[in-house]
Structures are given as C-alpha cells and as structure tokens.
Structure 1
Amino acid sequence: MYISEQLLNPDEHRLRLSTQLGVQNVVLDNRGTELVSATGGVSEWDAAKLRDYRQWVEGFGLKLDVFALDVGSILLDSLTDIEGAKKQRAMLAQNIQKAADAGITCLKYNVQMVGITRTGLKPGRGGAQNSGFVYAEYSAADDQKHSYWGVGYPSNQEEGGSTSAMLCGQKMAREVPPVTEKAGWDAIEFLVEGLVPAADKAGVRLACHPHDPAYPVGGLNGIEHVVGSADGIRKFLALSPSKNHGLNFCQGTVAEMFKEPGKAMIPVIEEFAATGRIFMVHFRNIRGGYLDFQEVFPDEGDVDMFEAIKAYQRGGYTGPLCPDHVPVSEIDEGRERFMSFALGYTRGLLQAAGVWSTARKN
C-alpha cells in the first residue's frame, strides 16, 4: 500500500507540491476540460492527447494510477432514453480502449444519479466545518446548498445545479423520475454489461464508487441508493466475475452504511480487500454513522485508521490510499493544507504498519 493523491485538473504548481509532499502516485480527474478531448467536447477522448497528458503528469516524477471515466447521465438516461444511453455506452467503451492505448490501466467511475447528498456543515475543531448528512434534518433547500455537485466541494455552494453538476449527470432528486430498487439495478446492470467486456478486451480495471450516502429504507425523494449497503456492494461485485470489475472502495462512504462503523468497518474492509476487487481506496473517516454523520479529519473519526490499514494488509490489498473529503475552512480555501495533513497522517500509519518501504518501490 502507498499514499496516492486524488487531484482535479492540476497545474504544474499543484503537481510540484504533490511531489514535495512525498507523493509518488496520483489519481486524476479532468472532467470539464478539453485536454484529452477528441472533438472539443468533454466526452469523447483522443488517445494521443490522453497519452500526452499522462506523460506530462509523469514528467514530474509521478505515476498516474487511476484516471476518471465520467459516465455522465447514462444511468438515468437508460431508464428514459435507452437508445441514447446505448450510444453513450458505446462511446464509453471506446474511451476505455483509448485509455489503454494511452498507457492507463485503471479507470474510476461513479454511479451517483443525484448529488452526493449532504444536509449542512457542522462545527469542527478549531472553527473548521464538517460536511454532514442528517436524515432527520433533510430539506431540499439544504440538499441543493450543501451536497457535493459535479466536480465541486460543499464549500463551492454556488455549484448546485450548475454546468459542473451537469457534466457528471447529477441532479436534484425532484428533477428526475423515481428510481425504484429494480430500476436502480437495471441501470447499473446496463452500464456494467457494456463496460466490463470493453475493459476485459483492453486490459483496463474499472473502479466503481458506491452510492454516497446510504439512504433510508425506501429511498429518499423517490431515489433508491442500491449500492448503499455492504450487501449492495456484494451484489454489485456479483454482476460480473471479471477481474477488471471492481471498486473504488470509499472507506468513508462504506462507514456511512453502518450505525456503528467503529465496530463494523474492520471486518468489512478485510472482507472486500480479500476479494481482490478493490482497485483504489478513498481513505477517509467519519463521526457518527448511518443517516447521521459528518466527515472529519482522518485522526478524529469513529474508525480506527491504523486498524483499517492492518485490515487491508490482512486482506491482501497493496494499492493506493487516497485522502478524501477533508473539512472546510476559510483559512485553507483550497484545502491543500488539510489534504497535506491527511497525506502525512496516512503515510505515518503506513510506516507504523511496516509497509511504507514497500510503497516506495511501486
């Protein structure tokens, strides 16, 4: 295992900072740009541009571990416009091959149909604020204001419903038809059936992020989060036996699925690590649990992060750990210092667990 930093559209300054922090591996997302586009849009990739982009990043002494595959609104579209969704799926399959041609071996994607739901910011240490979801306090207005939309953060409150959100196919639940449990699985199966064969042909691993957060039984605003439980993740993995069909295992998101994540998470981590289907980890912590939690610094949550490292070890996981969703503060608007803290904390845990010397060879 080793630290890896997840970055959105980094410039030279940001990549140099990563290397100075001791980062050697990165997970990149460039949604909303034309850096790798074939046509000037942001959906269809150009393999040569993608290769040039990878080589530019790796020119800083970094290895590109994972690149984001934006599936857009295909899941919702598959429920309302199947022919249009089939065209999108074909293009995504082509992008998987182009990624392989560009030397990229792993792509992550997200099956959110609506924004990553949050209900507000809670007071954190030293005046920082923690993004949270409290089902009992839910309102559509708070959802619009505080949820993670598109490629933004909760601190970017103006992004709700913006172009950035549309790039990722995320909308308010009231703007889309109801998504029953059956419809949710139908949409995900439609995507998996189209993308996994392309991934097998190209030799590219696909890392899926579970639904964030877990919704109450019966859903929220008519939307079911079917990959919002450990059983849902198990069912998702069972959709295909392919070794390329796996997870962006968001530890914080999975923790949100349990009333007592401090007790539940260690065996769950070991279970999924042992499947060999975790391709990257969002290494973050929460305080609270199912339907009532807040995202906190990694050292102050309910999950013992050192025990989590050891659980990944026991399960045989050797891939990247990416800090994710740190708190918000006007003192650190870009959250570079908060992420730096999380990176250093994670590196320290790896050293304590005796795996950092191995990490430096990856």
Structure 2
Amino acid sequence: MYIGEQLINPPAERLRLSAQLGVERVVIDNRGTDLVRPGGVWDVDKLRGYREWVESFGLKIDLFALDVGSILLDFLTDEASARQQAEVLKQNIQIAADAGLTALKYNVQMVGITRTGLRTGRGGVQYSGFKLASYSAEADRKHSYWGVGYPTNQDEGDAGSTLLCGQKMAREVPPVTEESGWRAIEFLVNELVPAADRAGIRLACHPHDPAYPVGGLNGVEHVLGSIEGLRKFVALSSSPNHGLNFCQGTVAEMAREPHSYVIRAIEEFAPRIFMVHFRNIKGGYLDFAEVFPDEGDVDMNEAIRAYQRAGYAGILCPDHVPLSELDPNRERFMAFALGYTRGLLQAAGYAPRITTLAD
C-alpha cells in the first residue's frame, strides 16, 4: 500500500507539492479541459502528453476519472441517448489504454452527494455532514457535494459545477426505485466492462454516498448504500477489471457501528478494491460528520491492518477533509491526512521511499 492524492486539474505547483509531501501516485480528475474533443471523446495525443507531464514531476497516474455524466438518469428516460453516451465512454476506455493509462474511476451518483449542514469541530474547523432529520431541499442545495467541487459555507454549495457530471437535485429527477436503479447500473456495467476487458483497463466504481433510508430520499433509492448492494454490484461481472473505488468513509456511513462494518467490508471486497478513499466519520447511518482521520469512529490503524491481511496493495487517498478559512484550498489538511496515513503504514511495516540527496 502507498499514499496518494486525488487532484482536480492540478497546476504544476500542486504536483510539485504532492511530490514534496512524499506522494508517488495520483488520481486525476481532468474534466472540463481541452483533453475532451467535441462530442466528449478524449484526444489520445493530448491525454498521452498529459500523462507524461504528470510523470515529469516524479508521479504516476494510478487512476483517471471517467465522467459518465447523466447516462444513468438518461437510461431511465431516454435509452437511445444513453446508448449513444455509452459508445463515447467505450471509446474513451480504449483511448485511455492507448495513452498509457491502466485504470479509470467512475461514480454512479444520480444526484449530488447529499449533505445537510456543517458542524463545528476542534479549533473551530467545520465538518460537512448529513443528518436525515435535518434534510431539506435548501440544505441539500447549500451543503451537498456537486460535480467535482466541495460543499461550502456559502449560500450555494458547488451546484454550479453540476453540468460537468450530469448530477441534479434529487427533487428534479424522475423516481429511481430499487428496480430501476439496478437496471440502470447493470446497463452501464454491461456496456463498459467488456470494453475495459478489451483495453486492459480496470474500472473502479464509487458507492452511493450517503446511504439513504429504506424507501429512498425524495423518491431516489441508493442501491449501492450497503454491503449487500456492493456485493450485488461486484457480482454483476466476473471480470477482474470490474471493481471498486472503495470509499471507506462512504462505507462507514452505511452502518450504525461503522468500525466493524468497514472491517467486514474490507475483508470481503479486498480482491476487487482498486483504490481507497481513506477517510473517517463521527456518527453513522443517517447521522454523521466527515472529520479528520485521527478522530473518527473507525480505528484507522486497524483498517490499515485489515487491508494488509486481505492483501490489498494499492493507493490510499485522503478525501473530504474538513473546512477552514485558514486552509481554503485544503492543502494543509490534505497534508495532515497524508502524513497520518504514512505513519500508519510505517507502523504496519511498510517501508518509506528512500530519498537520495543531491549534492
């Protein structure tokens, strides 16, 4: 295992910082740039050049974001459009391989990552959280994660970035039942995984965040909101290229006893985990806050040992760190999470990279 970072369209200075923090591998989200040609198809030469540019900082791209846009919602309302979008996604999977990439991550959220407010933590830091009893459309719009952004303490969250990834407010989408949600996800898996097999690309899917109550929220079910849902998803294909972006925080949000639930999920799904969002929460099912990794209800040291026992050998990325006006770009808090994770890895016997000093 090794530490890594998820970066959204990082400039050179940000990649230099990652390298200086000891990061060797990164996960890149590059939506909304000139890598995408008209029609949504990636430019293979630009993508290859981008990979080489990242590598010039001593970093390797572990995974690259595959934006599936509104394909799942469209499948439920306009199947012909969804099938056209699937053709573009399949082209991009092959282009990724041709550009020298080995894995892609994607997200099956049909609505924003629902949050209802902020809670105050140590030193006045703000934790993003979800509490079903506090849910309202206004809180959803203000505090949920939209697109590639983060929730904020402004009047509107990051709703302006929804156009980048097809997410909409839950009250603005058609009903998504358990049956129709699975039907849409099965369609996507059946379209993408054979293309990934041909290209030799691994596909890592992020679970639904957060787990919704039984019966859904605003008529939308989150079928990948439990271990049972993840088990059914993994069983959709026996391909070794079909797997999970295992968001440890999201899995913790599924349970009233997050620690034991996370350990159980690691033990079951490790062979299909292609990357980990190594984050922590306080609370649990339907009432939680996203906190620093050292203060949550999941024992992160034991989580490291569980990954180790299960044979996971991939990337661990910080994710959803708290908010503070002292760290507007979250670089300090990400650095703290990286150092904390590196310390846990060393305590578990993973040797750090040996630095060679230049004269």
Matched, 1:101 2:98: yes
Give the equivalent residue in structure 1 for 2:223: 226
Give the equivalent residue in structure 2 for 1:148: 145
**Aligned partner of 1:86: which letter?**
R
Identity of aligned residues (%): 73
Q: 1:2 to 1:359 in 2, by over 3 A?
A: farther
Helix, strand or coil for the counterpart of 2:159? Answer: coil
1:82 to 60, 79, 83: 79
1:114 to 111, 116, 129: 111
Matched, 1:287 2:282: yes
Give the equivalent residue in structure 2 for 1:254: 251
Determine if contact 2:318/2:338 at 8 Å carries over to the other structure: yes
Q: Distance in 1 between matches of 2:207 and 2:262?
A: 15
1:297-356 per-residue CA deviation (whole Å, 9 max, x = no partner) reads 000000000100000011110000000000000110000000000000000000000023
| TM-score, normalised via structure 1 length | 0.96
Q: Distance in 2 between matches of 1:265 and 1:207?
A: 18
Q: Distance in 2 between matches of 1:44 and 1:172?
A: 27
Deviation at 1:267, TM superposition (A): 2.4
Determine if contact 2:25/2:61 at 8 Å carries over to the other structure: yes
1:276-308 per-residue CA deviation (whole Å, 9 max, x = no partner) reads 110000000000000000000000000000100
Helix, strand or coil for the counterpart of 1:117? Answer: coil
Deviation at 1:177, TM superposition (A): 0.6
Helix, strand or coil for the counterpart of 1:96? Answer: helix
Give the equivalent residue in structure 2 for 1:17: 17
After superposing the two structures, state which structure 1 stretch, 232-241 or 165-174, moved more: 165-174
Matched, 1:267 2:264: yes
Give the equivalent residue in structure 2 for 1:337: 332
Q: Distance in 2 between matches of 1:249 and 1:263?
A: 16
**Aligned partner of 1:37: which letter?**
V
Determine if contact 2:150/2:158 at 8 Å carries over to the other structure: no
After superposing the two structures, state which structure 1 stretch, 90-99 or 151-160, moved more: 151-160
Q: 1:196 to 1:268 in 2, by over 3 A?
A: same
**Aligned partner of 2:275: which letter?**
M
Q: 1:68 to 1:156 in 2, by over 3 A?
A: farther
After superposing the two structures, state which structure 1 stretch, 264-273 or 194-203, moved more: 264-273
| TM-score, normalised via structure 2 length | 0.96
Q: Distance in 2 between matches of 1:91 and 1:156?
A: 36
Matched, 1:198 2:187: no
Give the equivalent residue in structure 1 for 2:42: 45
1:213-236 per-residue CA deviation (whole Å, 9 max, x = no partner) reads 000000000000000101000000
Determine if contact 1:146/1:154 at 8 Å carries over to the other structure: yes
1:104-156 per-residue CA deviation (whole Å, 9 max, x = no partner) reads 00000000000000000001110000000000111110000000000110127
Q: Distance in 2 between matches of 1:259 and 1:286?
A: 12
Helix, strand or coil for the counterpart of 1:330? Answer: coil
Q: 1:79 to 1:219 in 2, by over 3 A?
A: same
Give the equivalent residue in structure 2 for 1:301: 296
Q: Distance in 2 between matches of 1:188 and 1:71?
A: 11
Q: What aligned pairs does 1:125-204 form with structure 2 within 5 A after superposition?
A: 125-155=122-152, 157=154, 158-162=156-160, 164-204=161-201
Structure 1: unaligned runs, 5 residues or longer = none
Deviation at 1:271, TM superposition (A): 1.7
- The total of aligned residue pairs comes to 354
Helix, strand or coil for the counterpart of 2:275? Answer: strand
Q: 1:262 to 1:344 in 2, by over 3 A?
A: same
Matched, 1:242 2:236: no
Q: 1:267 to 1:200 in 2, by over 3 A?
A: same
Q: Distance in 2 between matches of 1:18 and 1:103?
A: 21
Q: Distance in 2 between matches of 1:205 and 1:268?
A: 20
Determine if contact 1:47/1:98 at 8 Å carries over to the other structure: yes
Q: Distance in 2 between matches of 1:307 and 1:54?
A: 34
Q: 1:305 to 1:254 in 2, by over 3 A?
A: same
Helix, strand or coil for the counterpart of 1:152? Answer: coil
Q: Distance in 1 between matches of 2:153 and 2:78?
A: 31
Deviation at 1:357, TM superposition (A): 4.3
Helix, strand or coil for the counterpart of 1:331? Answer: coil
Matched, 1:325 2:320: yes
Structure 2: unaligned runs, 5 residues or longer = none
Deviation at 1:262, TM superposition (A): 2.1
**Aligned partner of 2:28: which letter?**
L
Q: Distance in 2 between matches of 1:328 and 1:51?
A: 34
Q: Distance in 2 between matches of 1:330 and 1:165?
A: 24
Determine if contact 1:206/1:247 at 8 Å carries over to the other structure: yes
Instruction: Note the aligned Cα RMSD (angstroms).
Output: 1.3
Q: Distance in 2 between matches of 1:269 and 1:287?
A: 19
Deviation at 1:359, TM superposition (A): 10
Deviation at 1:159, TM superposition (A): 4.7
Helix, strand or coil for the counterpart of 1:75? Answer: helix
Deviation at 1:263, TM superposition (A): 2.7
Q: Distance in 2 between matches of 1:236 and 1:219?
A: 18
**Aligned partner of 1:11: which letter?**
P
Determine if contact 1:2/1:359 at 8 Å carries over to the other structure: no
